[in-house]
C-alpha cells in the first residue's frame, strides 16, 4: 500500500495506528539481520500510536501523516533518543531537541519507529562504514536474486552473499524496502539519499537547498547537505515534502517564500515521449536500449556529448 492509501485506511478505521505500529515493529524484528536500525524506540512509539488512536476516535486527526510509521537517519537530532551518527564518538549523546524536520513529522502525528543506520558521520557511499556494521539490501534475500546467483557457478554462498544498500542513508532505504515504515528521512550531500533509493528500488528525493530546514541535521558538508525523503511512490514523496518544506527561523538558509498550497502531482503528465540525456562519460551498456549503446548522439545542456533515447 502507498502512504496515501494507508492514511485513508487510518481515517476510515480500516486499521488503527496501534495495529499499524505492531505490524511494522514485527517486520523490524524479523529483518533485524539487515542492520537497518541503530535503535528502535518501542515504548516511545507505542505511546505515540496510542495517542494517535485517541485522536482518530475523537475526530481530531493532526493531518495525513497521523499514525504513519517513519524512520529517521541517525544524524538527525531526536529529543530523548540517542543520536550517534553511527560513531563511538557520539555514543551516549541524547539531544535535548528535535531537528526541525523530525518535529514537523511528529507535529503531524507520525510514529517514529527508530533511528536508521548509515556510514559513520554520513561519510560513505555504501552504508558499510559504521561501528555497528554494514546495512544489507533486502533485495539480497529475494527469490529472484537467489535464483540468479545459483546460475553463476562462481558466486559466493552463505551470509556473505548480500548486496549493499548504497549510502550514506542505507539504513533508511533498507527500512523502507523491508516495509518497516512508510516514509524515511535521509540526508543528501551528493547522492546519499538518491543512491540508496536506486539500490533498493525506492523513490529518493533531495529537495532544493533552502526548501527544507537543516536545523538539527549533523552535517557532512554544511553548504551542500539537505534532508532527503525516501518513499516507495512519487506521490508519497510529494506528500512528505509538503509537510517539511517552508521557512525555519532556526535555519537562516531556508527560503522565506511561504508554501501555501499542498504539493500535489498532476496525474495527467504524459512521459511516454520523455527524452533523457546522459553524458557520454557516464554511459554504460545497461543504460542504453538493448545494452548496445544505442540512441542518438547529441549534446547536453553543458555542451557535452550525450546519447538520447
Question: Which grid cell is 221?
Answer: 558538508
Do residues 233 and 2 touch, judged by C-beta distance below 8 A? yes
Q: Residue 251's beta-bridge partner residues?
A: 248
Beta strand 111-116 pairing with 69-73: parallel
4-20 tens-digit pLDDT? 999 999 999 999 999 99
How far from 271 is each of 98, 266, 268, 299, CA to CA, in Å?
39, 12, 10, 21
170-207 tens-digit pLDDT? 999 999 999 999 999 999 999 999 999 999 999 999 99
203-255 tens-digit pLDDT? 999 999 999 999 999 999 988 999 999 999 999 999 999 999 999 999 999 99
Starting at the edge strand found earlier in the chain, the sheet holding 277-279 runs 277-279, 305-308, 296-299
Q: What's the half-sphere exposure (Cβ side, CA atoms, 13 Å) at 256?
A: 1
53-80 tens-digit pLDDT? 999 999 999 999 999 999 999 999 999 9
Question: Which grid cell is 115?
Answer: 533511528
Do residues 216 and 64 touch, judged by C-beta distance below 8 A? no
133-174 tens-digit pLDDT? 999 999 999 888 878 777 776 665 556 689 999 999 999 999
39 has pLDDT over 80? yes
289-299 tens-digit pLDDT? 544 444 444 44
**Domains within the chain, CATH numbers bracketed:** 3-268 (3.90.1300.10), 270-308 (no CATH)
Name the residue among 73, 66, 68, 70 with its Cα closest to residue 107: 66
Residues with a catalytic annotation lie at: 73, 168, 192
Name the residue among 72, 112, 19 with its Cα closest to residue 216: 72
Residue whose grid cell is 548504497: 166
305 has pLDDT over 70? no
191 Rama class: left (phi>0) / alpha (psi -120 to 50) / beta:
left
C-alpha to C-alpha distance for 171 and 164, rounded to whole angstroms: 10
Helix 3-11 and helix 17-30, axial crossing angle in degrees, nearest 10: 140
C-alpha to C-alpha distance for 27 and 39, rounded to whole angstroms: 14
How far from 87 is each of 32, 143, 188, CA to CA, in Å?
20, 34, 19
Which residue has better confidence, 153 or 305? Answer: 153
C-alpha to C-alpha distance for 45 and 33, rounded to whole angstroms: 21
C-alpha to C-alpha distance for 141 and 137, rounded to whole angstroms: 8
Amino acid at each position: 500500500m502507498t502512504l496515501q492509501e494507508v492514511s485513508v485506511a487510518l481515517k476510515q478505521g480500516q486499521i488503527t495506528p496501534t495495529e499499524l505500529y505492531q505490524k511494522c515493529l514485527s517486520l523490524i524484528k524479523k529483518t533485524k539481520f539487515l542492520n537497518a536500525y541503530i535503535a528502535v524506540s518501542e515504548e516511545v512509539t507505542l505511546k505515540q500510536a496510542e495517542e494517535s488512536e485517541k485522536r482518530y476516535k475523537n475526530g481530531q486527526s493532526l493531518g495525513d501523516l497521523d499514525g504513519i510509521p517513519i524512520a529517521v537517519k541517525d544524524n538527525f537530532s531526536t529529543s530523548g533518543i540517542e543520536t550517534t551518527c553511527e560513531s563511538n564518538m557520539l555514543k551516549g549523546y541524547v539531544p535535548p531537541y528535535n531537528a526541525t524536520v523530525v518535529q514537523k513529522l511528529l507535529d503531524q502525528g507520525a510514529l517514529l519507529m527508530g533511528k536508521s543506520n548509515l556510514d559513520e558521520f554520513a561519510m560513505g557511499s555504501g552504508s558499510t562504514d559504521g561501528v555497528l556494521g554494514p546495512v544489507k539490501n533486502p533485495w539480497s534475500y529475494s527469490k529472484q536474486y537467489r535464483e540468479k546467483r545459483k546460475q553463476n557457478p562462481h558466486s559466493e554462498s552463505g551470509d556473505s552473499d548480500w548486496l549493499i544498500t548504497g549510502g550514506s542513508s542505507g539504513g533508511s532505504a533498507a527500512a523502507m524496502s523491508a516495509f518497516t515504515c512508510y516514509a524515511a528521512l535521509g540526508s543528501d550531500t551528493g547522492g546519499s539519499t538518491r543512491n540508496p533509493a536506486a539500490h533498493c528500488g525506492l523513490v529518493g528525493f533531495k529537495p532544493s537547498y533552502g526548501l527544507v530546514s537543516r536545523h538539527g541535521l549533523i552535517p557532512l558538508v554544511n553548504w551542500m547537505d539537505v534532508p532527503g525523503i525516501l518513499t516507495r511512490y512519487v506521490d508519497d514523496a510529494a506528500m512528505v515534502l509538503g509537510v517539511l518544506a517552508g521557512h525555519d527561523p532556526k535555519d537562516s538558509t531556508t527560503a522565506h517564500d511561504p508554501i501555501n498550497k499542498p504539493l500535489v502531482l498532476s496525474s495527467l503528465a504524459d512521459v511516454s515521449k520523455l527524452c533523457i540525456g546522459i553524458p557520454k562519460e557516464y554511459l554504460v551498456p545497461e543504460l542504453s536500449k538493448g545494452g548496445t549503446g544505442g540512441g542518438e548522439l547529441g549534446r547536453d545542456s553543458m555542451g557535452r556529448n550525450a546519447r538520447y533515447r
